[in-house]
Chains A and B, each alone.
Chain A
Amino acid sequence: MTTTQTANDYHDRQRRNVRRTALVLSLIAAAFYIGFILMSVSRALR
């Protein structure tokens, strides 16, 4: 494998990891937002 390929692979992998981490963190934030509203709804319905 040439140096060029290695560097490109490294950057591609890094880009994929950046996207994946950002997506997971956004989903966690959304879950906390919706989760607390749902928790309050269920409490108000009790």
Chain B
Amino acid sequence: MAYSDHTAAHGDHEHRPSGIWRWLSTTNHKDIGTLYLVFSCVMFFVGGLMAMLIRMELLKPGLQFFDPSLFNSLTTVHALAMIFGAVMPAWVGLANWMIPMQIGAPDMALPRMNNFSFWILPFAFMLLLSTFFIPGGAPAGGWTLYPPLVLQGGNSLPLAIFAIHLMGASSIMGAINVIVTIMNMRAPGMTLLRMPLFVWTWLITAYLLIAVMPVLAGAVTMLLTDHFFGTSFFSASGGGDPVMFQHIFWFFGHPEVYILILPAFGVVSEIIPTFSRKPLFGYSAMVYATASIAFLSFIVWAHHMFTVGMPLAAELFFMLSTMLIAIPTGVKVFNWCATMWRGSLSFEPPMLFALSFLFLFTIGGFSGLMLAMAPADFQYQDTYFVVAHFHYVLVPGSIFAIMGGVYYWLPKWTGHMYNMTLAKWHFWLSTIFVNVLFFPQHFLGLAGMPRRIPDYATQFADWNRVSSLGGFAFGLSQVLFPIIIIQCVRGGEKATNQVWESAHGLEWELPSPAPYHSWQDAPTLATIEHGAEHGNTM
């Protein structure tokens, strides 16, 4: 069978099951991408609802609505839902949709595993959320699950640990699929240094996932055996070491932060050149900077543990290695600015979200540098300053980049343009209120307000009120996001193939909406070079 015949035979499978069976059994990367994105959106609102409840409790000093144990459960499950349920699945969803289209592959390399890795996620989160309804309540020891505190909780521990195992297995399978796809399924002529930055950042992210998710799984398995089988991995009374858990957890936890943010760098590196009408400045430097950040993320974990106690030499090592991350990150920020320099800028919603990312993520990066200084960290540790820092990195960082990515590629997915005015409203409300929500938390932290408390001294009342009101407004403004997406799916102005006048890359060579099976015939070298002409400069 000739190559073209072979692909034509595949074309016979253009028909797809309809109804629920389509979504349960699908092996199509676009369907699975959609499933991930819808799941992520649902979890974003579930986690967001918990955030609203937390801010409601903190609106005024004193206990208002929840007992402290439930408050701690809300903070713990909010974090787990947002990290593992909202942000990571959103990135996997975008990867599923875009990577095959961007590298000229017909689908992901392991489509059945792709289906399986999605469908275990809803069960994982059903398990996790069901813990709110069992005696003793949901896990309340924080998302870091530190022993011995977490071992003293109710009956929720095994359910939460099983849920984490399932999430981990899903992530590992997703990561294996991404790497295998990128390394083996690129169209002939799509060399590594012609790949779009989103594909590059995801490739590096996938390696991080494979290295660290099993470490988390190992850590929680040991917690489980400590609790139920009498082992003493982390129990000092049996010869174990609770601090060992913290080392293992943060060996996973710090690269996890980069798992959440590296694909954001990729999305922003796609959006800024398009709306600056210029090629990305320093493509290869961006690739090497991403790889450097990923490498450094493995040797900085103990900066989360300065106050736990460690030799001075170790403190210095972890302080300096953490500060080193500012160099490749600075390269990226410089390159995005240089891309815009003398560009013909326009400010459509994806660009607005990318610019907001650029400014606000940098604020999160700077507060990260402050936290990296070991002596200063003794003041900041476990205060709201830390909460402000990582929310600046994850909300206007990761989540704004996800929203920017959705607004960038949505017309390609649906074939319709969305309501630009409403999307700009979404952007401005989000950007204003995310700052009202999180910026005052810097002041609260510097003034000494501890994190993970349902009540606080009255001197913190004013900024907490501001933060809570900002939180409610930010939460409400997010309702616009699904409304805009649903409107766009149902209809609207027809999108052109290129959608944005200066967009370059293989995905824009496909019709809008992208066909159910794309690139069954690999793109020609000329198409690849045309796609790479403005996006990548190698």
Contacts and interface: CB of A to CB of B under 8 A. Distances in A.
Is this pair of chains taken from one and the same complex?
Answer: yes
Interface of A: 3-4, 6-8, 10-11, 14, 17-18, 21-22, 25-26, 28-30, 32-37, 40-41, 43-45
A17 B185 CA distance: 10
30 contacts: A3-B2, A6-B3, A7-B1, A8-B1, A10-B3, A11-B6, A17-B183, A18-B109, A18-B184, A18-B185, A21-B184, A22-B109, A22-B176, A25-B179, A25-B180, A26-B176, A32-B211, A32-B212, A32-B218, A34-B218, A36-B215, A36-B248, A40-B233, A40-B240, A40-B248, A41-B233, A43-B240, A43-B244, A44-B231, A45-B239
B232 interface: yes
Nearest to A8: B1
B3 A3 contact: yes
B110 interface: yes
Given A29-B172, A37-B221, A7 B248 contact: no
Nearest to A19: B180
Contacts of A29: 172, 176, 210, 213-214
A9 B500 CA distance: 39
B214 A32 contact: yes
Contacts of A43: 240-241, 244
Interface in B1-55: 1-3, 6
B161 interface: no
Interface residues of B, number: 35
Given A7-B2, A21-B184, A44 B218 contact: no
B210 A33 contact: no
B246 to A, nearest CB: 12
Given A18-B109, A29-B214, A37 B222 contact: yes
Given A32-B214, A36-B219, 20 more contacts: A7-B1, A7-B6, A8-B1, A11-B6, A18-B110, A18-B185, A22-B109, A22-B180, A26-B176, A29-B210, A36-B214, A36-B248, A36-B251, A37-B218, A40-B233, A40-B240, A40-B244, A43-B241, A44-B239, A45-B239
Interface in B203-224: 210-215, 217-219, 221-222
Nearest to A40: B233
A26 B110 CA distance: 13
B contacts with A: majority SS: helix
A21 B172 contact: no
A43 B239 CA distance: 9
Contacts of B211: 28, 32
Interface of B: 1-3, 6, 109-110, 172, 175-176, 179-180, 183-185, 210-215, 217-219, 221-222, 231-233, 238-241, 244, 248, 251
A13 B1 CA distance: 16
Contact of B233 (A28, A32, A44): A44
Contacts of B215: 32-33, 36
A16 to B, nearest CB: 9
A29 to B, nearest CB: 5
Contact of A21 (B2, B180, B219, B238): B180
Contacts of B244: 40, 43
Given A14-B184, A18-B109, A21-B180, A33 B241 contact: no
A11 B232 CA distance: 51
B214 A33 contact: yes
Contacts of A28: 210-211
B175 to A, nearest CB: 8
A32 to B, nearest CB: 4
A37 B222 CA distance: 7
Given A29-B172, A37-B221, A18 B2 contact: no
Given A33-B218, A36-B215, A44-B232, A4 B2 contact: yes
Contacts of A34: 218
B179 A44 contact: no
Contacts of A21: 179-180, 183-184
Contacts of B219: 36
A41 B222 CA distance: 10
Contacts of B222: 37, 40
Contacts of A30: 214
Contacts of A8: 1
Contacts of B238: 44
A10 B210 CA distance: 28
Contacts of B183: 17, 21
A3 B535 CA distance: 33
